[in-house]
């Protein structure tokens, strides 16, 4: 039995390595967007539950012919879409080790090195942000879950009875503040936490898409007058639409004055802290009660890998989430409890996701990440300069991170994006800013070079001239 198992690993390892290297070798030339329609793909995979097993060769063939060619070209240097990176090879292959060991990092006993390495990478992220020695956190599936965990800590800190007795036990209705540019996971979080989506006050932003602190103060005062309980302020370090960074330090002061929990969603912008040149953009982040930081965005860790960090440490997370089920209640002298990650969030069984992050951070080092972040911002500024030089295009907002938004004089941004998408040579997205559609470019691949950006400009110019 075991001999077969070993042989299967050997055979798969060799064949998979061939497939992976052939696929990544094709990234330079292959189209970014696959051409198949949802109907075509549905048909391609429409087959009954297999009665008999298939051979490894047949399965790998299906991957090569049907799965990989129809995948979105996220790892391509010409992918300028969402905050989705080219994954580092060390991260891709770390995932193999993770699956091979299949440690369950939920409880220390079930995943000793998973838990220990998770604690280590959390420490590294905290140190990167100058979070104090007490700070701690947990990995999460992504920024959405990290935001939810943080907002639950906020809710439970401000209204301690709600965890056990429900929202009705709160003295007043809780409200949360974030800019009108915040990620939709904040809306979802307040809903899931029983506060209701209307409890999220979307504060207007200025012409650079930063939260207006004057409007925030006015809204808090209004809410107090009307009997609401201001409970949490969310700042964003790198908004999803335009990459803008809220005034982080100023928001910390507003939160302090109003006894609110302060959360910074740095899911995208967190890695600015690697760069001596750009880290001042995050000034004051260490004052936040909690921080969301997604290594699967600008740290090139393959999906999924998010993190939430909490200034006052694991105790806060445990106050909110800890349980001791019978089958996890053996006493090991207490030293293990600290590394039972199921106590720090919603997840039970968890992948050994810290491994790919640990390996990625060891591979890149602070310097490697600083260089990547700086290069991406430089390339984005270069792109912005080229857009400025084009007739009929106008930029919207500023380049603060590696995102650039712009419009076309025809007001037909969606058509322009779709034309480019059909061509498939590059991919960019659109968003809506101030009620109007805009084109959006994000540089998030360490493979992207200036000639790729020039190619993107050529495609944009061509599509614009055809409108
Ligand atoms: C600012 C911000 N926060 C949170 C998220 C959610 O992250 P995820 O998609 O990993 O759940 C995103 C995703 O783009 C984001 O841009």
Give the residue-averaged pLDDT of 268-283. 98
3-state secondary structure of 60: helix
Cα(403) to ligand 1 centroid in Å equals 14
Cα(187) to ligand 1 centroid in Å equals 12
pLDDT score recorded for residue 328: 83
What is the C-alpha to C-alpha distance for residues 395 and 381, in angstroms, rounded to an integer?
12
Pocket test for ligand 1, best of 185, 290, 299 (most atoms within 8 A of CB): 185
pLDDT score recorded for residue 427: 98
Cα(180) to ligand 1 centroid in Å equals 15
What is the C-alpha to C-alpha distance for residues 126 and 131, in angstroms, rounded to an integer?
5
Residues contacting 184, CB < 8 A, separation 6+: none
Decide: 237 in ligand 1 pocket, CB within 6 A.
Answer: no
Give the residue-averaged pLDDT of 304-315. 97
Helical spans, DSSP H, in 129-234: 143-158, 162-165, 184-192, 213-225
Say if residue 8 is exposed, middle or buried (CB neighbours under 10 Å; 0-12, 13-18, 19+): exposed
pLDDT score recorded for residue 144: 98
pLDDT score recorded for residue 376: 98
pLDDT in tens, 21-79: 999 999 999 999 999 999 999 999 999 999 999 999 999 999 999 999 999 999 999 99
The answer to whether residue 360 scores a pLDDT higher than 90 is yes
Token pair 């779709």: residue: 418
The DSSP bridge pattern shows strands 403-408 and 306-310 to be unpaired
Decide: 182 in ligand 1 pocket, CB within 6 A.
Answer: no
Domains of the chain: 97-360 (3.40.640.10)
The atom of ligand 1 lying closest to the CA of 82 is: 14
pLDDT score recorded for residue 336: 76
Q: How many alpha carbons lie under 13 Å from residue 335 in its C-beta half-sphere?
A: 4
The answer to whether residue 333 scores a pLDDT higher than 80 is no
Q: What is the mean pLDDT of the chain?
A: 97
Cα(82) to ligand 1 centroid in Å equals 10
pLDDT in tens, 211-222: 999 999 999 999
The atom of ligand 1 lying closest to the CA of 142 is: 10
What is the C-alpha to C-alpha distance for residues 268 and 83, in angstroms, rounded to an integer?
7
pLDDT score recorded for residue 332: 78
pLDDT in tens, 378-421: 999 999 999 999 999 999 999 999 999 999 999 999 999 999 99
- Taking the whole predicted model, whether its pTM rises above 0.75 is answered as yes
Decide: 369 in ligand 1 pocket, CB within 6 A.
Answer: no
pLDDT in tens, 86-127: 999 999 999 999 999 999 999 999 999 999 999 999 999 999
What is the C-alpha to C-alpha distance for residues 183 and 404, in angstroms, rounded to an integer?
17
Decide: 148 in ligand 1 pocket, CB within 6 A.
Answer: no
Cα(178) to ligand 1 centroid in Å equals 14
The atom of ligand 1 lying closest to the CA of 240 is: 16
Q: Are 407 and 396 in contact (CB under 8 A)?
A: yes
Residue nearest to atom 7 of ligand 1 (CA): 143
Decide: 400 in ligand 1 pocket, CB within 6 A.
Answer: no
pLDDT score recorded for residue 325: 87
Residues contacting 185, CB < 8 A, separation 6+: 143, 144, 147, 148
Decide: 268 in ligand 1 pocket, CB within 6 A.
Answer: yes
Token pair 């393959």: residue: 302
Give the residue-averaged pLDDT of 254-269. 98
Cβ atoms within 10 A of the Cβ of 196, count? Answer: 13
Cα(37) to ligand 1 centroid in Å equals 27
141 — pLDDT class (breaks 50, 70, 90): very high
pLDDT score recorded for residue 438: 98
Cα(428) to ligand 1 centroid in Å equals 17
Nearest residue to 401 (alpha-carbon basis) of 224, 175, 242, 171: 242
């Amino acid at each position: 039995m075991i001999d077969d198992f070993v042989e299967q690993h050997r055979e798969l390892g060799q064949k998979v390595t061939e497939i992976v290297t052939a696929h990544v070798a094709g990234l330079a030339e292959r189209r970014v967007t696959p051409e198949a329609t949802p109907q075509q793909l549905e048909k391609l995979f429409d087959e009954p539950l297999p009665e008999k097993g298939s051979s490894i060769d047949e399965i790998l063939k299906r991957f090569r012919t049907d799965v990989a060619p129809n995948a979105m070209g996220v790892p391509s240097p010409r992918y300028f879409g969402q905050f989705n990176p080219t994954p580092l090879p060390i991260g891709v292959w770390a995932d193999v080790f993770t699956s091979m060991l299949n440690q369950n990092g939920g409880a220390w006993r079930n995943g000793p090195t998973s838990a220990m390495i998770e604690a280590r990478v959390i420490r590294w992220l905290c140190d990167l942000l100058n979070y104090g020695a007490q700070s701690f956190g947990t990995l999460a599936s992504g920024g959405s879950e990290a935001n939810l965990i943080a907002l639950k800590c906020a809710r439970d800190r401000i209204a301690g009875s709600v965890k056990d007795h429900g929202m009705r036990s709160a003295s007043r209705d809780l409200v949360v503040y974030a800019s009108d540019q915040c990620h939709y996971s904040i809306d979802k979080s307040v809903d899931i936490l029983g506060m209701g989506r209307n409890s999220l006050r979307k504060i207007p932003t200025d012409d650079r898409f930063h939260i207006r602190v004057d409007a925030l103060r006015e809204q808090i005062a209004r809410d107090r007058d009307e009997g609401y309980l201001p409970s949490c302020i969310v700042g964003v370090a790198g908004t999803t639409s335009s990459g803008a960074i809220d005034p982080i330090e100023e928001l910390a002061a507003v939160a302090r004055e109003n006894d609110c929990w302060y959360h910074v969603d740095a899911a995208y912008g967190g890695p600015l802290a690697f760069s001596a040149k750009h880290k001042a953009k995050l000034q004051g982040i260490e004052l936040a009660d909690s921080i969301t930081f997604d290594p699967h965005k600008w740290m090139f860790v393959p999906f999924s890998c998010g993190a939430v960090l909490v200034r006052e440490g694991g105790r806060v997370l445990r106050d909110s989430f800890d349980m001791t089920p019978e089958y996890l209640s053996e006493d090991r002298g207490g030293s293990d409890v600290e590394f039972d990650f199921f106590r720090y969030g919603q997840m039970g069984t968890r992948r050994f996701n810290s491994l790919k992050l640990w390996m990625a951070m060891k591979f890149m080092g602070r310097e490697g990440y600083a260089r990547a972040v700086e290069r991406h911002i430089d390339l984005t500024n270069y792109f912005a300069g080229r857009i400025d030089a084009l007739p009929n295009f106008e930029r919207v907002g500023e380049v603060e991170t590696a995102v650039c938004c712009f419009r076309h004089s025809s007001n037909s941004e969606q058509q322009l994006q779709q034309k480019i998408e059909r061509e498939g040579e590059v991919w960019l997205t659109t968003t809506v800013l101030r009620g109007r559609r805009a084109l959006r470019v994000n540089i998030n691949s360490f493979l992207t070079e200036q000639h790729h950006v020039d190619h993107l400009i050529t495609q944009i110019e061509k599509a614009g001239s055809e409108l």
